[in-house]
């Protein structure tokens, strides 16, 4: 058995503050025995859309990534963290411009090992473009370039880990593909809205855990983000392969940076999979594409 921690915090437009909160969570969770620590989507900053391109390319943002890598190395733990990632070459930068000529970025989850090395950069595949009556209109693709590939699961101290992000949660096909490729845990760093989170968040997380018979690690942004109209749902949690919520962060205001932890029991996971062998029962003859 090994402990995993998921974080809940409220990122602001001040990158250095968000780094300090994240480093403190990494240190405290590792002191309490966690071997892998999961931070939310957009932990580096949440700011008005007009500021996203410049903040993404700022020295502060480079320092953010270096600071998380150092904290992982010093604590000797693995860290997953959601960031805004600039395209790496000037050609990619040109391709990244939106219709208005604005520079876009990737919504990226970094997976960092206990030595501070960045092993994976998962770029969010499904972007949150919605227009819901009652005032929820968000066009993530205005500021974000969609990723183009699912990464194979990565072997970590808490098990074989599949990387996904936030809105990807609504699409079962990548989670099923990752499970077929051997994932035992799925991670969804998120910044769900209050409107959709109240209705769908826990149900979707538990559904993904139940149908893939995997742990689901869901770090989350929480609360009203300064300078924006956005408020995040929080409810960061860990769900086990049977679908039980085995850890959840507090929903008490004022929101403080926090984390919750659960034991990852891979033996119980394998038993669950043996007792109800969904993967031997799938109708690949009828649904070959997964
Ligand atoms: O890049 C950033 O600044 C942070 N990213 C986000 O907050 C993203 C895109 S706007 N949020 C979601 O995907 C929410 C999904 C959601 O709420 C749902 O599926 O219901």
Q: State how far the Cα of 157 lies from the Cα of 190, in Å rounded to an integer.
A: 22
Q: What is the DSSP letter of 169?
A: G
The ligand 1 site (C-beta within 6 Å) comprises 41-42, 46, 107, 128, 138, 140, 166-167, 170, 191-193, 196
pLDDT score, position 96: 74
Ligand 1, atom nearest to 47 Cα: 3
Closest CA to 258 of 74, 46, 80, 5: 5
Residue 91 has pLDDT above 90, yes or no: no
Ligand 1 centre to CA of 35 (Å) is 27
CATH second-level architecture of 2-280? 4-Layer Sandwich (3.60)
Per-chain mean pLDDT for the chain: 96
Burial classification of residue 266, based on how many CB atoms lie within 10 Å of its CB (0-12 exposed, 13-18 middle, 19 or more buried): middle
Contact 110, 22 (CB under 8 A): no
Phi, psi dihedrals of residue 173, rounded to the nearest 5°: -65, -40
Phi, psi dihedrals of residue 230, rounded to the nearest 5°: -95, 140
Ligand 1 centre to CA of 263 (Å) is 28
Ligand 1 centre to CA of 137 (Å) is 11
Q: State how far the Cα of 119 lies from the Cα of 174, in Å rounded to an integer.
A: 20
Residue 89 has pLDDT above 90, yes or no: no
Q: Whose CA is nearest to atom 6 of ligand 1?
A: 191
User: How many C-beta atoms surround the C-beta of residue 274 within 10 A?
Assistant: 10
pLDDT score, position 41: 98
Taking every pair of C-alpha atoms in the chain, what is the biggest distance, in angstroms? Answer: 54
Q: Is this prediction's pTM over 0.95?
A: yes
The pLDDT tens digits for 212-253 are 999 999 999 999 999 999 999 999 999 999 999 999 999 999
Ligand 1 centre to CA of 123 (Å) is 13
Phi, psi dihedrals of residue 13, rounded to the nearest 5°: -85, 0
pLDDT score, position 90: 75
ipTM: 0.94
Tell me the chain's radius of gyration from C-alpha atoms.
18
Q: Beta-strand (E) ranges in the chain? A: 2-9, 34-38, 78-85, 105-112, 118-123, 129-132, 136-139, 144-145, 154-156, 159-163, 185-187, 215-218, 220-224, 231-233, 237-239, 245-248, 258-264
Ligand 1, atom nearest to 143 Cα: 1
The pLDDT tens digits for 192-202 are 999 999 999 99
Q: State how far the Cα of 4 lies from the Cα of 36, in Å rounded to an integer.
A: 5
Return the best residue to mutate from 41, 105, 227 for the ligand 1 pocket (most ligand atoms within 8 A of CB).
41
Query: Where are the chain's structural domains?
Result: 2-280
Ligand 1, atom nearest to 138 Cα: 10
pLDDT score, position 99: 65
Contact 106, 100 (CB under 8 A): no
Q: Give catalytic residues, as residue numbers.
A: 41, 124, 166
Q: State how far the Cα of 246 lies from the Cα of 240, in Å rounded to an integer.
A: 6
Q: State how far the Cα of 102 lies from the Cα of 141, in Å rounded to an integer.
A: 11
The pLDDT tens digits for 17-75 are 999 999 999 999 999 999 999 999 999 999 998 899 999 999 999 999 999 999 999 99
Query: Per-residue confidence at 128, pLDDT binned at 50, 70, 90?
Result: very high
Q: Whose CA is nearest to atom 2 of ligand 1?
A: 42
pLDDT score, position 92: 75
Q: State how far the Cα of 205 lies from the Cα of 14, in Å rounded to an integer.
A: 30
Q: State how far the Cα of 146 lies from the Cα of 104, in Å rounded to an integer.
A: 10
Q: What is the DSSP letter of 198?
A: I
């Amino acid at each position: 058995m090994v402990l995993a921690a998921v974080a809940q915090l409220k990122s602001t437009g001040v990158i250095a503050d968000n780094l300090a909160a994240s480093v403190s969570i990494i240190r405290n969770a590792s002191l309490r025995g966690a071997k892998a620590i999961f931070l939310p989507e957009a932990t580096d900053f949440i700011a008005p859309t007009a500021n996203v391109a410049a903040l993404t390319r700022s020295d502060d943002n480079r320092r953010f990534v270096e600071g998380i890598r150092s904290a992982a190395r010093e604590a000797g733990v693995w860290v997953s963290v959601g960031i805004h990632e600039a395209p790496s070459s000037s050609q990619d930068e040109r391709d990244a411009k939106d219709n208005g000529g604005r520079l876009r970025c990737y919504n990226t989850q970094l997976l960092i090992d206990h030595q501070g090395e960045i092993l994976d950069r998962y770029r969010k595949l499904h972007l949150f473009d919605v227009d819901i009556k009652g005032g929820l209109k968000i066009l993530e693709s205005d500021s974000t370039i969609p990723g183009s590939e699912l990464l194979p699961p990565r072997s970590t101290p808490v098990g074989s880990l599949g990387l996904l992000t936030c809105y990807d949660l609504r699409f079962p096909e990548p989670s099923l593909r990752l499970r077929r490729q051997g994932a035992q845990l799925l991670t969804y760093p998120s910044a769900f809205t209050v409107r959709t989170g109240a209705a769908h968040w826990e149900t979707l997380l538990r559904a993904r855990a139940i149908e893939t018979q995997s742990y689901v690690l869901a770090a989350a942004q929480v609360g009203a983000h300064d300078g924006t109209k956005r408020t995040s749902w929080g409810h960061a949690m860990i769900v086990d392969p049977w679908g039980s919520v085995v850890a959840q962060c507090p929903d008490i205001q004022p929101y403080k940076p926090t984390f919750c932890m659960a034991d990852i029991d891979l033996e119980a996971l394998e038993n669950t999979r043996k007792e109800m062998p969904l993967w031997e029962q799938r109708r690949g003859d009828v649904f070959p594409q997964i």
